[in-house]
Amino acid sequence: GAMRQLPYFCRGEVVKGFGRGSKELGIPTANFSEQVVESFPSDIPTGIYYGWACVGNGDVHKMVLSIGWNPFYKNIKKSVETHIIHTFKEDFYGEILSIVITGYIRPEKNFDSIDALILAIQEDIEEAKRQLDLPEHLKLKEDNFFHQPEGKIVNSR
């Protein structure tokens, strides 16, 4: 199931996505490179997860993450996209994003409308915020993983 691989630590470059307009919906998602996605356990279920994220050696923030099928590759490859629950002054393409995935929210779903999609994501964000305040998830915010200056290791645990 989804929980067996968690917590899952991962770090890699933020690349340009395929322009599904996440930012226009008010929920930008930082996409990992194909190389990072390929390094994920192949049996990790698609769906919506939550955890902690940090850009470069910046602050650690709450995040929600989607592991989904990548339409750009005709859904034969996965995409991993992180929405950091923080307002950034600027985009951070090309920077190193470090994340730890600590919990699972729900499987992927199709929505009848954009409004239904946005509502579901807002609920995911609220759920993530609540869960991440619990001690077992909160403790990972302080993990040494986020305080390594090199920031070059992909998939270090």
The catalytic residues are 81
Other beta carbons less than 10 A from residue 157's beta carbon: 9
Of Mg ion, ligand ADP, none, which one sits near residue 84, judging by CB under 5 to 8 A according to partner kind? ligand ADP
Q: What is the DSSP string of 13-38?
A: EEE------TTTTT---EEEPHHHHH
Instruction: Work out whether 29 is an interface residue with Mg ion (CB under 5 A).
Output: yes
Stretch that binds ligand ADP, among 11-19, 35-43, 109-117, 147-155 (CB under 6 A): 11-19
- For ligand ADP, the binding residue among 69, 73, 93, 111 (CB under 6 A) is 93
- For Mg ion, the binding residue among 13, 15, 22, 40 (CB under 5 A) is 22
Is the Cβ–Cβ distance between 130 and 45 less than 8 Å? no
Residues 53-82 that bind ligand ADP (CB under 6 A): 82
**Any idea which residue has 């049996």 for tokens?**
43
Instruction: Work out whether 31 is an interface residue with ligand ADP (CB under 6 A).
Output: yes
Other beta carbons less than 10 A from residue 80's beta carbon: 27
Of ligand ADP, Mg ion, none, which one sits near residue 16, judging by CB under 5 to 8 A according to partner kind? ligand ADP
Q: How far is the CB of 12 from ligand ADP (least distance, A)?
A: 12
d(CA 44, CA 23): 26
Sign of CA dihedral 122, 44, 52, 55: negative
Q: How far is the CB of 154 from Mg ion (least distance, A)?
A: 19
Is the Cβ–Cβ distance between 67 and 46 less than 8 Å? yes
Binding site residues, ligand ADP, CB under 6 A: 14, 16-19, 22-23, 28-31, 82-84, 86, 88, 91-93
Kindly list the residues in this chain that would bind Mg ion in the complex (CB under 5 A). Answer: 17, 22, 29, 31, 81
